[in-house]
Amino acid sequence: MKVALIQAPFWGIKSPPLGLACLSAYIKNRGYQVYKRDLNIEAYSVLKNQGLENLWQLNQPMWGDYKQVLAFYEEHKELFTSYVNDILIADPEVIGFSILWSTEIMSRLLATEIKKINPKKIIIFGGPQCTVGYFSERIIALPQIDFVVCGEGEATLYELLEALKNNQSIKGIESLYSKHEKFCGTRPLIKNINSLPFPDFDDYKFDLYLQPVMLATNTSRGCPNRCIYCDEKIFWNIFRSYPGERIFEEIRYQAEKYNIDRFEFTDSLVNGNIKSLEKFCDLVIENNLKISWMSQAAVRKEMTRELLQKIKDSGCFHLCFGMEHFSQELLQKMGKVLCKNVDFDRLIRNCFEVQLPTGLNWMFGFPGETDEDFQADLDFFTRNVSYMEYISVNNSQGFCGFTPNCYAYEHPDDIDIILGPDACTWKSKDNKNTYVTRLLKYQKFCDHLDTLKIKYSFPKFKNENELIGNYYFNCEKDYNLALEYYKKELLQNENSEHSKEYSIKCSDLLKGESI
């Protein structure tokens, strides 16, 4: 049986998709033919030459809007139809799509076109968007989708393929949604991930990605932390790590096979298992393996100067810490269990001493944050300004957001918040912590880092008043306040079409209300 694994837009452009590479290796090892296509990078390589490169910017909201994606698809129908024809010419019996919020709509449109041409093709959706419950139930209800694989997909996909190949019942296959069989419960995660084969990156067109190509891989699955804003926990509810020897052997294998020397560990954290991380670094250094790599990491006391030196010597060119805040009390409320008793100042100075390029993720206005807590953040950067040469701050433009599937979104009463219409517009029950207060903290934070000449990733908002106006208009329905801020924005930027439009809307709404 032949299986096609497809990555639709929108996805990254710097490396081939890892998820499909893992699935491909798993079912190839069990006798299946696999045909992989990264239509995201193929479309990008064509459409960037038509001035559409900006559509592949990080978190471009268009990809989550059905009307906008449909218009985009129709405008470039000839291109996407050619991709569909290529897939059908390859003649797979089963076609699987990797689904994230940003790829779902394009995948649905491509699946519809496939079914229109050949209704006998079996369409499977799987990936991060396909969690047990609402999302998968909604997706399986779509007429063009035959099956939805939930969660960790290797074993479920293989069992489904075996049933289809042998014309057997799918009844009893865990973590699988279908049109006719009842959901049979969630499959336990693979305990020994070391038994999994190395990811298979064959078929990908390496020359289309940003050069030099960076290959994605993992050191683990899951995370020991319990961050209440993290929506990955529903997907990886336990932490499992590869031994350092396995990580090293996989990197060496992929480097030789694909002539690649740049890698990104894309798991939640590279240092969930300190012994494995140190062993990997030791082996790279001892074998003189010439690679460079980057990853995310948790803040924890085991990140000593000696280990950071090994990380640097093994080729790490960027390590991004999920620090988020200076207050230990708030970090524990967040669920960052690993950072307990960490000397943050010492960590920063150790990174400086070994000259390790480092990122610090930072958020603003976590529930319970006081003005004193925020000032402590500013003070942290002030007293460490001399040690920031190799550090950049990833200041969250979402401030502090709670998305579906994360603990805070599912249990807002536990942290005394009221959810808003989107992830970033929640407010505290006492109304002291709102989108507006978090925005103003973000702006002040940027000003402070500018004064200290510390590098940070995202700029200060130039349309502050318009953003506040949007909040009062869309979330609070306070059209008087919204109008006030839109007018302020127009005084600064009389060409702001959005503020002009919404000023008129506010005026019309206020005329029809008793105020």
pLDDT tens column, 278-291:
999 999 999 999 99
Question: 412 in helix, strand or coil?
Answer: helix
Tokens matching residue 154: 């290797």
Alpha carbon of residue 470 to chain centroid: 26
Question: Is residue 221 a contact partner of residue 246, using CB atoms and an 8 Å limit?
Answer: no
According to CATH, the topology of domain 214-461 is pyruvate-formate lyase- activating enzyme (3.80.30)
d(CA 476, CA 459): 26
Question: 439 in helix, strand or coil?
Answer: helix
Q: Distances from the Cα of 287 to the Cαs of 248, 249, 282, 284, 314, in angstroms?
A: 10, 11, 8, 5, 10
- Say if residue 451's pLDDT is above 80: yes
The pLDDT of residue 513: 63
Residue 442 confidence class, pLDDT cut points 50, 70, 90: very high
DSSP H/E element including 410: helix 407-410
The pLDDT of residue 234: 74
The pLDDT of residue 233: 77
Alpha carbon of residue 118 to chain centroid: 33
pLDDT tens digits, 53-84:
999 987 788 999 999 999 999 999 999 999 99
pLDDT tens digits, 187-230:
999 999 999 999 999 999 999 999 999 999 999 999 999 999 99
Mean of pLDDT values over 314-322: 97
Mean of pLDDT values over 329-347: 95
Residue 264 confidence class, pLDDT cut points 50, 70, 90: very high
The pLDDT of residue 58: 77
The pLDDT of residue 469: 97
E strand map for 256-356: 262-265, 292-297, 316-324
Tell me the backbone φ, ψ of residue 390, rounded to 5 degrees: -105, 15
Q: Report percent pLDDT > 70 for the chain.
A: 99
Q: What's this model's pTM, rounded to 2 decimal places?
A: 0.92
- Say if residue 41's pLDDT is above 70: yes
Question: 284 in helix, strand or coil?
Answer: helix
pLDDT tens digits, 138-193:
999 999 999 999 989 999 999 999 999 999 999 999 999 999 888 988 999 999 99
The pLDDT of residue 60: 84
The pLDDT of residue 103: 96
Higher pLDDT, 101 or 319: 319
The pLDDT of residue 515: 42
pLDDT tens digits, 362-420:
999 999 999 999 999 999 999 999 999 999 999 999 999 998 889 999 999 999 999 99
The mean of the pLDDT values for the chain is 95
Mean of pLDDT values over 90-107: 96
Question: Is residue 229 a contact partner of residue 400, using CB atoms and an 8 Å limit?
Answer: yes
Residue-range domain boundaries for the chain: 2-178, 214-461
d(CA 83, CA 87): 6
Task: Return the amino acid letter for 371.
Answer: D
Is the alpha carbon torsion for 176, 177, 179, 182 positive or negative?
positive
pLDDT tens digits, 84-98:
999 999 999 999 999
Phi-psi region for residue 504, left (φ > 0), alpha (ψ -120 to 50) or beta? alpha
CATH number 3.30.1360.150 is the correct assignment for the domain at 2-178: no
